[in-house]
Chain A
């Protein structure tokens, strides 16, 4: 599928005139974005809509690269971008006349956004939670098409929702694939939990048994495995391909990145370089099998496969990133994860995290957690942080739950490129993990 009225073949012919050499990459990236937002409980306009379209053309050689990007798509802009990237105009300049992306012709429609706050209110009442709340709800639409001189990927579309809530005790944010009753229920539960823990004391520092719910496991694995195995991060300390075969974590951990198996409306067939995505084993039984790579790192190392390139927008360069992590289920029933963790902490979600790829260290923070007692989940504790070395943390995994749950793993903002990340994860139990108040 192409954008309606768009002629990718002409773009492809023009790119072929750039005569890329062996190992050079040339492509054009076209993008349409729409973000419709409603806010409750705050000042300002009720309905907010941002719409944009634009493109980027790039030529990458082993030691140099040029990228030209623009807002809007018309023949003059394409010609100017082409000239800048080509450095020298070919004898027969390509014709771009008539090439344009579809206009945004209709007013934004946001009925599902406008209905969701009421749905959430009902779900909060069912949980007997009455809390002052400011809610920012957004629907994100992203359409991209990447065109190379020989390969024209189909246009791809992602639609998803994000929620940012301000409540006593802090902020809460999440990504949602749908705005249905189940999403309202899950959001209400998370908000009520954070609200009820607002005055809870933080846990005492020290090593603990931790049980992570699937949502918390998703964030942790994104920070400590996916970022660690991005080829550009691996290159900070050596050849990215040399990570292959390294025993990075517990043999209980098998983790994939599979953008083709993400929630239906964000599923991808090709990445942001137009390369078909792959079901990529990051860890198989704790051992690194295939780091995340884009075309540049695949070409440079000769040992990695492309297909994991993502870009925050046309104005930013693609780089290797995960899209949808999938943790293979283990053998431990979810209830047993908790019943065998007496004295530990149960973390439902992590609010944020970061990795230092050079030092191999990480930190993740949670707004609240629950103590695990003999009878199951007990009193709430306040903000906590896990900090340590990636290898130590992954070796501390002693059980993987037998049930996967799919959902948003949050926004990832590596090097200023803000991207949604998805995951299908199971619960995890870790032992001897250092916990400190945040």
Chain B
């Protein structure tokens, strides 16, 4: 994982140090992506080779950021300006590379076959439905980060994402899934999800205002987590969330444990270090309902705790604190069928119809959803055009059950994971959020 650094990286660090810039960091990323898309009756194949580097350099008083494509790490450096720069000291990461980093990229034939099978499966699931577009992007990357403080890390990454859009009449839905390599993608599950959502949009109707137990699928849980994520970062986020806590420091039900783990071995973005070279680690943010901590970048450490959470998507980007694999801890004993079977009257919502919004200061949340009404543990009627909303406190404290079906979906700059969850005390109303 730690390899010798390219000569020119070391030269750049020395060159800039000799100009009086105490802090110098070089970030380098090289990747290739093979993309295959089917649009109507056309196949589009693509191959992208991306390569670039970024240098942050400065003193405590001023700094600059310069990034350039290509492999030659050299530039006409600008004068430092603006805010000062500080960089973290090196720490040894504890990380085992995922086992499938060497899996080859999908060939054109494999990719075209995979996309064609979605179309076939969709047709079998829901006659009349049509695949508008399907797109497979399969890529690998090498990342190096080094600094004048002694950080020196180099690692590889692998990611494959599949997006599919389908229609039925005037209704259109999109499903996005990702795995580290394409042979792990479950094509029939993608087709089933497209078909479920189209069928609900085609036949569903809104319901009157209601307060009942609600089961939410992974996509809705992930959307809510994505909306919550900005408030899980730094001291500022912690202050906002603490205002929601009861006198015992509890902000959620005992069922809810929330974790971020940038080094998660089966994670899509698994890495030994974050975007500033700080080792990633498992960070429990909420444990059995109790607010434990927020994500702490190295420069905001508290009681010696740092999270290794500076996200850096590519060489064009500056590091920015944020989660990488944020997820709700699943309950391995609880099946989705069991959660559904216990629902005497309520709703089982499968997907979002728009973005989720969370306002901790106003103690509000809302997310437009679609799914089914449930009676006696069985879906009774499709429901669409409704929103799930209420107070944020009631959402967090109303988590009454957590399934074992944890699924990660790419969201924002990271991936977010949620299992199916049972909620009580939330409201369902007709109309968009």
Contact = CB atoms under 8 A, between A and B. Distances in A.
Given A47-B81, A236-B132, A358-B172, A317 B69 contact: no
B76 A47 contact: no
Given A67-B44, A315-B48, A49 B78 contact: yes
A63 B171 contact: no
A66 B68 contact: no
A233 to B, nearest CB: 11
Interface stretch (A1-9, A36-44, A261-269, A280-288): A36-44
Interface residues of A, number: 44
Interface centre among B42, B46, B170, B318 (most CB of A within 10 A): B46
Interface of B: 40-52, 56, 58, 62-71, 75-83, 85, 132, 167, 170-172, 316, 318, 432
Nearest to A110: B78
Given A45-B56, A46-B83, A106-B76, A65 B48 contact: no
A404 to B, nearest CB: 34
Contact of A71 (B51, B56, B62, B80): B51
A199 interface: no
A47 B42 contact: no
28 contacts: A43-B83, A44-B318, A45-B65, A45-B85, A45-B318, A47-B81, A48-B65, A49-B65, A49-B78, A51-B66, A52-B69, A52-B316, A63-B43, A64-B45, A65-B43, A67-B47, A68-B46, A68-B48, A68-B49, A72-B51, A80-B49, A104-B68, A104-B75, A104-B76, A107-B78, A108-B66, A315-B48, A356-B172
A105 interface: yes
> Could you say which of B47, B77, B83, B316 has the most chain A C-beta atoms within 10 Å of its C-beta?
B47
B45 A51 contact: no
A4 to B, nearest CB: 17
Could you say which of B49, B69, B81 has the most chain A C-beta atoms within 10 Å of its C-beta? B69
Contacts of B69: 51-54, 71-72
Contacts of A62: 42
Nearest to B31: A71
B125 to A, nearest CB: 20
Given A45-B63, A72-B70, A67 B45 contact: yes
A315 B51 CA distance: 12
Contacts of A66: 44-46
Contacts of A356: 172
A200 to B, nearest CB: 16
A84 interface: yes
Contacts of A45: 56, 58, 63-65, 80-83, 85, 318
Contact of B49 (A51, A53, A77): A77
Given A47-B82, A71-B69, A317 B52 contact: no
Contacts of B85: 45
Contacts of A68: 46-49
A69 B46 contact: yes
Interface in A60-88: 62-72, 77, 80, 84
Contacts of A298: none
A50 interface: yes
A270 to B, nearest CB: 23
| Residue of A45, A105, A360 ringed by the most chain B CB atoms within 10 A | A45
**Chain A to chain B: the 8 pairs with minimum beta-carbon distance, closest first:** A46-B82, A46-B81, A52-B69, A72-B70, A71-B69, A107-B76, A45-B65, A70-B49
Contacts of B76: 104-107
B45 A65 contact: yes
A383 to B, nearest CB: 12
Interface string A11-41: 0000000000000000000000000001100
A107 B79 CA distance: 8
A438 to B, nearest CB: 10
Contacts of B172: 236, 356, 358-359
Nearest to A61: B42
Contacts of B52: 52, 71
Contacts of A63: 41-43
B216 to A, nearest CB: 24
A231 B278 CA distance: 48
B78 A70 contact: no
Contact of B42 (A38, A65, A67): A65
Contact of A51 (B50, B56, B67): B67
A68 B46 CA distance: 6
A65 B45 CA distance: 6
Contacts of A69: 46-49
B232 to A, nearest CB: 19
Contacts of B50: 70-71, 315
Nearest to A354: B354
Interface string A231-247: 00001100000000000
Interface in A85-114: 104-108, 114
A47 B65 contact: yes
Given A45-B58, A45-B63, A236 B43 contact: no
Which residue of A70, A80, A114 has the most chain B CB atoms within 10 A of its CB atom? A70
B187 to A, nearest CB: 22
Given A54-B69, A65-B42, A358-B172, 11 more contacts: A46-B81, A47-B65, A49-B67, A51-B69, A71-B52, A71-B70, A72-B70, A315-B48, A315-B50, A317-B46, A359-B170
A48 B318 contact: yes
A359 B45 contact: no
A360 B76 CA distance: 50
Contacts of A80: 49
Nearest to B433: A438
A34 B58 CA distance: 21
B227 to A, nearest CB: 16
A75 to B, nearest CB: 14
Contacts of A104: 68, 75-76
B15 to A, nearest CB: 14
